[in-house]
Structures are given as C-alpha cells and as structure tokens.
Amino acid sequence: MQRGLEHYERQVSLANIPRDLAFEDRVASCRVQIATRTTAINQSQTVPRSQKGFKIESWMQSSDDVSFNPEDLSTFLGRGGFATVFRGKYQGQDVAAKRFDQIILADSMEWEKLIAKEIKAWQDISHEPFVLTLIGVCTKIPVPILVSELCQTNIRRFVRDCPDAVLPMVYQFACGISSLHRANIIHRDLKGDNVLVTFRNTVAIADFGLSRTAVSLQNTHKIASGTLNWMSPEQYLTARNVTTKFDIWSFGMTMWEIICDKSPYHDCCANEISEAIQTTHDRPNKPDDLSSHLEPLWTLITKCWQKEPTARPSIEDVIAYLESNIHQMS
C-alpha cells in the first residue's frame, strides 16, 4: 500500500491529476485498521518472566524469520565500512539483509537503546514516498542484522544505465528528502550509495541515523572519512549544530555525482577536500558534455553547495525549482 502511493503522490505534485480526497481517506482508514489489528495481536501474546518489564518494539525481529547465505556469492549486494548486504528472505519475501560485521554485541539491550530513536524514526516514515521500507532489526544475535526492502541498484548506477531518467530520479530524490525534513529528520549522510532505486524504478532513500550509531560503537572516525566528499563545511567543522542545510549541500554533491558518474572531489585527498569546501569557489567542475537542456540543473547544483547555509535553498524551494523548470529540462 505504502509504495502504491508513490505514483499517485508524484502525479499530484506535478499537477497531472487532481488530489482525490476520497482515495486518501480510504488509505488512512486502512492504516488505522492495520494498526488496530497489530496492537490486538501484540497484546494477545504472552511474555516470558525473563522478559517482564522489557518492551518489545515493533521493529525488533527474530533472526529465525530471516535467512541468507553469506557463502553464496550470488546473494552478495554490497559492502560498506562496517556492514555487508546480502539478498535474503524474510517470511518468504525477498529482502536486503545488512549484517553489521564490525559490531559484536555483548549486550543487545544496550545496543537496542542506542539505535531505538533512529530506528523508530525510520519506521515512522517508512510509508512515505521515496523512503526505503524498513522491516526491522535482529538484535538478539552476536552480529546484528537490519532487514529492509530489496532494491535493484542505487541512483548513480541507474542513471548511468538510463541517462534519460536523470530528471525524474532527481525529482524523486528531492521529494524523499522532503519526507525526511517534514518529519524533522536530517539524514546527514546523503550520497549515491544511500539513494536506492526499487524494482518499480522509484527512489528509496536509505541508511539515515543507524549508520552513525553503528559506527560510533566502534569508536572510530570511519563515517567522517567515508563521507567527507559529500559533507558541508559546517558539518565537517561543527557537526553538533545540525540543520537541514547539511542535506541540501549533500543533495547538490549527489546531483553532481549522478550527472558525472564520479564521486565529488574524487581526485583529492582528505586535506584537500576539507580546504576546498571551506572556500566560496573551489567546487567540482561543470561537466564539459552537459546537455544544454540540463543547464537549469547545474544552476540548482551551484545553489545547493553555497558555503553559507542560509544561502542554500530549502528542500521545498528545490522541489518548486525542479517543477518550474522540468519542461525546459525534458
């Protein structure tokens, strides 16, 4: 149901169809029925004495319900600095199983407390368009596993294979960020690898919150070094003062990544990048082969990576700009 709304929401936002309030009421009614039924099922289950006083969150999944074979190379989907992703099964459904290889849990309850806020936030907006559907996290095992919707690829590879899809993909990407910001969620790690494409050819933003918590358990700085290429100067210098403008800068860098099929500042070392982003002018170059009809997209990119956060547009400004220029860029 949640993904079935994506096409409807996009068509409404582009003014291709009128908003159907009766349809939206039916969807809301179905959600209430599902929530009521889920609550009734949870309340009917008995809780062992050993678990008395321990709250079972809806995102906590049993590892018995998830299956994947790390030895089967055909199921391998990708690897990051702290996790490996495999194609797996959850109650017979194809899913992505992310195994946090660098985390060995001595106390699962402590880890559950650490990730609860991020996972709950993700779960709460999983129904929103262009956000990856979270199924849950298996924590009662030595190496935890995150289970989510299975996607076909990421946005950079998708546009590489289907260059004509760049505009709808960028537009959906912006709408996904809007879903996050409306829910008071700031991603802080936007890049091509974290913007997936479903088998319905729609964007699904992934990996907000939990990645930072997971890495913090290792007491390392991998997350900073791994995402510096997409990181705003104020995030690099004063990461505690979190604002939505972090994501706008990263959105601009990811747009550059998409149209150039390279990581921003790919030929620079960490020190060179940190110096460049603190200037007003040292930004990735405009591609020589950029089509003339995509000039408005380049203008948007340059707006997003302004040094001063207040000079950058909001995500709603970005969406409005794309909608007003989409016919010129098509």
Q: In this predicted model, what pLDDT tens digit does every residue of 250-297 receive, in sequence order?
A: 999 999 999 999 999 999 999 999 999 999 999 999 999 999 999 999
Residues 304 and 160 in one domain: yes
| Residue 38 within any structural domain of the chain | no
Contact 128, 122 (CB under 8 A): no
Judge if 105 and 243 occupy the same domain: no
85 plus 67 within the same structural domain = yes
Looking at residue 125, what DSSP letter applies? T
Residues 116 and 165 in one domain: no
Domain boundary among 125, 149, 173: 149
Residue 160 lies in a domain: yes
Both structure tokens of 37: 């039924």
User: Pick from 93, 123, 149: which residue ends a domain?
Assistant: 149
Q: Which of 247, 153, 239 is CA-nearest to residue 197?
A: 153
Q: Are residues 144 and 177 in the same domain?
A: no
Q: Do the domain assignments include residue 13? A: no
Domain CATH number, residue 264: 1.10.510.10
Q: Please give the annotated binding residues, written as ranges.
A: 98
Q: Is residue 23 part of a domain?
A: no
Sign of CA dihedral 125, 127, 130, 134: positive
What is the distance between the alpha carbons of residues 130 and 204, in angstroms, rounded to a whole number? Answer: 4
Alpha-carbon distance of 245 to 316, in angstroms, equals 12
The verdict on residue 197 lying in a domain is yes
Based on the fold, state whether residues 174 and 117 are members of the same structural domain. no
Same domain, 190 and 209: yes
Does residue 241 belong to any structural domain of this protein?
A: yes
101-123 mean pLDDT: 67
**In-domain check, residue 16:** no
Per the CB < 8 A criterion, the answer to whether 160 and 199 are in contact is no
The residue with tokens 């729609």 is 202
Q: Where are the alpha helices (DSSP H) in the chain?
A: 4-13, 21-44, 108-124, 155-161, 166-182, 210-216, 222-227, 233-237, 245-260, 270-277, 295-304, 315-329
How many independent structural domains does the chain possess? 2
What percent of the chain lies above the pLDDT cut of 90?
51
Q: Computed from CA positions of residues 263, 269, 274, 276, in that sequence, does the dihedral angle turn out positive or negative? A: negative
Which are the contacts of 311, defined by CB distance < 8 A and separation ≥ 6? Answer: 303
Q: 310 with 205, same domain?
A: yes
Q: Which domain holds residue 100?
A: 63-149
**Same domain? 133 vs 271:** no
Q: Are residues 299 and 180 in the same domain?
A: yes
pLDDT in tens, 16-55: 678 777 777 677 666 656 655 555 544 444 434 333 333 4
Same domain, 76 and 209: no
Three-state DSSP at 91 gives coil
Residue 211 predicted with pLDDT over 70: no
Residue numbering of the annotated binding site for ATP: 98
Contact 131, 205 (CB under 8 A): yes
Residue 107: give its domain's CATH number. Answer: 3.30.200.20
How far apart (Å, rounded) are the C-alpha atoms in residues 29 and 35?
10
Q: What is the mean pLDDT of the chain?
A: 81
Q: How many CB atoms lie within 10 A of CB 215?
A: 22
d(CA 157, CA 159): 6
In the structure, what pLDDT confidence band is assigned to residue 66 with cuts at 50, 70 and 90?
confident
89 within domain boundaries: yes
Give yes or no for a contact between 302 and 174, defined as CB atoms under 8 angstroms apart: no
Q: Can you give the pLDDT at residue 33? A: 63
269 in the same domain as 191: yes
What pLDDT does residue 12 have? 62
Task: Give Cα 20 distance to the centre of its chain.
Answer: 28
> Among 55-59, 77-81, 170-174, 223-227, which stretch is predicted with the lowest mean pLDDT?
223-227
Range from 9-18, 79-88, 166-175, 186-195 carrying the lowest mean pLDDT: 9-18
Exposed, middle or buried: residue 128 (CB in 10 Å: 0-12, 13-18, 19+)?
buried
Q: Looking at 149, 168, 184, which one is the last position of a domain?
A: 149
